[in-house]
Amino acid sequence: MTWTTIPPVLPVRPNTMKQTPDKSFARGIFLTLEGPEGSGKSTQIPLLAAALRTAGYRVASTREPGGTKVAEAIRTLLLSGPSNEPIMPETEALLVLAARSQHVAHVIRPALARGSIVLCDRFAHSTFAYQGFGRGVSLSWLQTANRAATGDLVPDLTLLLDIPVARGLARRRQARGGRNRLDRESIMFHERVRRGFLTLASRTPRRIKVINADRPVEVVRAEIEALVLGWLRTRQRRSSA
Ligand code: ATM
């Protein structure tokens, strides 16, 4: 058996609800939060999860790189990597994609199949922003490899928490925990990453909503909650019409 004929862990169903609504198949919803360093994603995800649970939804929160044992081991390698052996851009891309493949198969797809809303702290847009725009790895190659790693899983909605680089890095410095290998990159790198995220959002404004994260946590929380609950209500109205 070659790798191309290995059956998927779960019956893989392309995430095409928006293009071809299929009411016969109860499927969860895949929401991702993206953004540069210090944008506050990991503060906002538990707040959004709590609001969604209060509204009656089943929620699974997870993160990338990570979410499974193998993927968390890859995260450690990526973020702390050996100082005497530079990690090449393509190596970095393949590592995040390897972690994603594990995560999608063992965590995300099973949760979607149970009908949960999956809230994921970073996903493919981070790969395009960091490895593509930031490191200069070919975007079309990344898109193809990402499709292979995920079985073409695309988020239903992405929230891009945007913050100027200097503000985000300052927040990051104030937060507890040391700086990782990517935090230590140059300001220019982080500027390319931020511009990358904003470029992706401008290309697909219906799927990626930009939130100004350079505001107090409570203000950002309220905007995210209103946006997501409104989006869910619209989606439900459309699918029951
Ligand atoms: P968090 O700090 O948001 O947990 O993310 C860890 C790092 O992983 C983040 N950089 N820093 N610091 C961005 C990086 N990353 C990538 O470079 N590519 C990816 O595809 C993903 C998912 C994360």
Q: Identify whether 23 is part of a domain.
A: no
**Ligand 1 and 34: CB distance under 6 A:** no
pLDDT the model gives residue 165 = 97
**Ligand 1 and 130: CB distance under 6 A:** yes
Q: Identify whether 55 is part of a domain.
A: yes
Domain membership of residue 78 as a residue range: 29-240
Atom of ligand 1 nearest to the CA of 179: 12
| Tens-place pLDDT, residues 63-91 | 999 999 999 999 999 999 777 899 999 99
Q: Identify whether 214 is part of a domain.
A: yes
Q: How confident is the model at residue 23 (pLDDT cuts 50, 70, 90)?
A: very low
Please determine, for residue 36, whether its predicted confidence score (pLDDT) is greater than 60.
yes
Number of domains in the chain: 1
Atom of ligand 1 nearest to the CA of 130: 17
| Cα 65 to ligand 1 centre (Å) | 7
0.95 surpassed by pTM: no
What is the per-residue DSSP string for the chain? --GGGSPPSS------TTTS--TTS---EEEEEE-STTS-HHHHHHHHHHHHHHTT--EEEEESS-SSHHHHHHHHHHHH--TTSPPPHHHHHHHHHHHHHHHIIIIIHHHHHTTPEEEEES-HHHIIIIIIIIT---HHHHHHHHHHHHTS---SEEEEEE--HHHHHHHHHHSSS---TTTTS-HHHHHHHHHHHHHHHHH-TTTEEEEE-SS-HHHHHHHHHHHHHHHHHHHHHHHH-
Q: Identify whether 1 is part of a domain.
A: no
Please determine, for residue 5, whether its predicted confidence score (pLDDT) is greater than 80.
no
pLDDT the model gives residue 2 = 37
Q: Identify whether 209 is part of a domain.
A: yes
| Cα 126 to ligand 1 centre (Å) | 7
Please determine, for residue 94, whether its predicted confidence score (pLDDT) is greater than 80.
yes
Q: How confident is the model at residue 176 (pLDDT cuts 50, 70, 90)?
A: low
pLDDT averaged over every residue in the chain:
89
Please determine, for residue 3, whether its predicted confidence score (pLDDT) is greater than 50.
no
Q: Identify whether 90 is part of a domain.
A: yes
Q: Identify whether 150 is part of a domain.
A: yes
Q: Which residue has the higher pLDDT, 82 or 7?
A: 82
* CATH number for the domain harbouring residue 45: 3.40.50.300
| Cα 190 to ligand 1 centre (Å) | 12
Q: Identify whether 20 is part of a domain.
A: no
